[in-house]
Amino acid sequence: MKNRSAFKIFILEDDAWYGSMLQHYLSLNPDYEVRRFENSSAFFSALHENPQVVTLDYSLPDCDGGEALKKIKEHNNNIQVVIISGQEDIATAINLLKNGAFDYIVKDDDTKDRLWNTIQHLQEINGLKQEVEQLRKEVGRKYDFSKTMIGNSDSMQKVFSMIEKAVQTNISVSIYGETGSGKEMVAKAIHYNSERQKKPFVAVNVTAIPKDLIESELFGHEKGAFTGAVTRRIGKFEEADGGTLFLDEIGEMDINLQTKLLRVLQEKEITRVGDNQVIPVNARIITATHKNLLESVQAKTFREDLYYRLYGLPINLPPLRERSGDVILLAKYFIDLFCTENKTEKKTLSNESQQKLMNYRFPGNVRELKSVMDLSVVMSDGPLIEPENITLNTTAKVTDIFANGKTLREHTNFIIQHYLDNNKGDVLLVAKLLDIGKSTIYRMIQSKELVIN
């Protein structure tokens, strides 16, 4: 039985003894599948099998070596051809190499060793090509937003339309959406479907880096620039050169660093901390925030000129509660994904489970839904996921809201407090979500009716 993964080698050699010697020698490697042909007619009849390598005798009685090389390359340019000749003709060798031959080996006592080394080299190259191709396919599957960003709702269709526009140019993109709504996934979908897809995608979460280190993180530093800088460090702008730099939670950036970022965006060059050398950079900028940056501009916590420099093409990512029609669609997708990745039996949601998910508002958005679905698969014993297998992070059921005897004021306080807890105490965002005045919330905090944790 033939090994389909074997490295296939065809030997075209009219000298039966010499061809047999090469075949025997190369066959010592169990990874090689070696076939020998004594005439070009039989060889070309089998060429449809597309070997990785052909060793070609240049002086064939029934076919010119140069013509054979041309026909092989016309059939499949990926087949590597090694010429084996009895004559050391430099001009001929150069001409054959120009026309696509990988190597030209003269028949002598060292031929078989040279051929062995050449084919080993070709096998390594072939392996690398397969790895690269596999990575490209994986990246393509992973970031094909039409497949991984699930949604039939009108709001998501608008997002898909904006992504399509974003991938066609290098315009800066600003993504707005709540925590967990999938802002980084949108950024990756734009990068990996754009002309920059073969260059780096570098993500920086502004809130995850201490204030005194973020300048070094973005622009890099030289050895000795500050205490602890024991070596030179390349910054994220240099890492992303030619690709995309994703700045998540840009609204949290210190106002002083905003000034330096603005200069970099205007001049397209950076200077490492502790150095005077100017380094040109070419990175597409995509930013994301859960804040209303215009309100931050009005509050003087975000530079207006930087806001307009970053605004570019805005993409507003809706929270999951505003795309209720997508909840079950996403839930089924996450279940199938988890089962596939963990090689478990396929599972489905019962009607009661679907209703339970539809009644929940998912303050953690898509990220929370995925976590809930992953756990539900683990907790269910059979092929059907029942409501008791689904754990939701809620302190009170909607159906029980009137069973606790609270006053309207207490209910109001409970709802606002719930939104504050699930939105990191962001008063402006909660005011927008609940359509109430922010001064009302501030007044309730001041009177200790509400608490920001």
In a domain, 453, yes or no: no
82, 101 contact by CB (below 8 A): yes
Q: Is the pLDDT of residue 175 over 70?
A: yes
Position 84 in a domain: yes
Contact between residue 360 and residue 392 where contact means Cβ atoms under 8 Å apart: yes
Q: Is the dihedral of CA 57, 62, 66, 70 positive or negative?
A: negative
What CATH number should be reported for the domain holding residue 259?
Answer: 3.40.50.300
Tokens of 183: 């802002």
Mean pLDDT of 375-392: 94
How far, in Å, are 42, 51, 65, 186, 275 from residue 39 at the CA level?
6, 17, 12, 57, 67
Among residues 106, 138, 170, the one where a domain terminates is: 138
The reported pLDDT for the residue numbered 406 is 66
Same domain, 200 and 327: no
In the numeric block, the tokens 């570098």 are attached to: 202
The parent domain of residue 416 ranges over: 398-446
Same domain, 233 and 245: yes
CATH number at residue 327: 1.10.8.60
If asked whether residues 58 and 195 sit together in one domain, one would say: no
Structure tokens at 72: 């092989």
Alpha-carbon distance of 109 to 85, in angstroms, equals: 13
Is 286 found in the same domain as 339?
no
Alpha-carbon gap, residue 55 to 40, rounded angstroms: 12
pLDDT in tens, 187-199: 999 998 999 998 9
Domain contains 452: no
Instruction: Give the mean model confidence (pLDDT) for residues 184-212.
Output: 91
pLDDT, residue 125, reads 84
Q: What is the mean pLDDT of the chain?
A: 87
249 and 379 belong to one structural domain: no
Q: Which of 331, 329, 367 is nearest to 177 (CA)?
A: 367
Higher-confidence position of 153 and 398: 153
For 29-71, give the DSSP string.
Answer: STTEEEEEESSHHHHHHHGGG--SEEEEESB-SSSBHHHHHHH
221-224: which pairs have CB atoms within 8 A and are 24 or more residues apart? 221/272, 221/273, 221/274, 221/275, 222/272, 222/273, 222/274, 222/275, 223/274, 224/274
How many angstroms separate the CA atoms of 176 and 245, rounded? 16
Max CA pair span of the chain: 102
Split into its structural domains, the chain has a count of: 4
The answer, yes or no, to whether residue 139 has pLDDT greater than 60, is no
- Taking the C-alpha atoms of residue 310 and residue 262, their distance in angstroms, rounded to an integer, is 9
**Mean pLDDT, range 382-400, rounded to an integer:** 76
Q: Are 74 and 99 spatial neighbours (Cβ–Cβ below 8 Å)?
A: no
Residue 441 CA to residue 428 CA, distance in Å, equals 9
End of a domain among 99, 120, 138?
Answer: 138
Quick: pLDDT tens for 294-348. Answer: 999 999 999 999 999 999 999 999 999 888 789 999 999 999 999 999 999 999 9
With 60 as the cut, is the pLDDT of residue 284 above it? yes
Per the domain annotation, does 163 fall within a domain? yes
User: In the prediction, which pLDDT does 94 show?
Assistant: 85
Residue 137: the pLDDT is: 54
Query: Do 189 and 133 fall within a single domain?
Result: no
Task: Assign 148 a pLDDT band (cuts: 50, 70, 90).
Answer: low
Higher pLDDT, 453 or 47: 47
The 10s digit of each residue's pLDDT in 347-356 is 999 999 999 9
User: Rounded to whole angstroms, how far apart are CA atoms 155 and 189?
Assistant: 17
In the predicted structure, residue 147 carries a pLDDT above the cut 60: no
What does the pLDDT look like over 12-71, one tens digit per residue? 998 899 999 999 999 999 889 999 999 999 999 999 999 999 999 888 888 888 889 999
Verify that 220 and 171 share a domain, yes or no.
yes
| 272 falls within a domain | yes
Give yes or no: residues 64 and 38 share one domain: yes
Tell me which of 271, 299, 316 is where a domain ends. 316
Cα dist from 56 to 13, 279, 445, whole Å? 7, 50, 84
Cα–Cα separations (whole angstroms), residue 125 to 101, 119, 222 = 15, 10, 37
In this structure, are 225 and 299 located in the same domain? yes
Same domain, 128 and 237: no
- Strand spans (E) along 50-140: 53-57, 80-85, 103-106
pLDDT of residue 88: 76
| Beta pairing partners, 84 | 57, 105
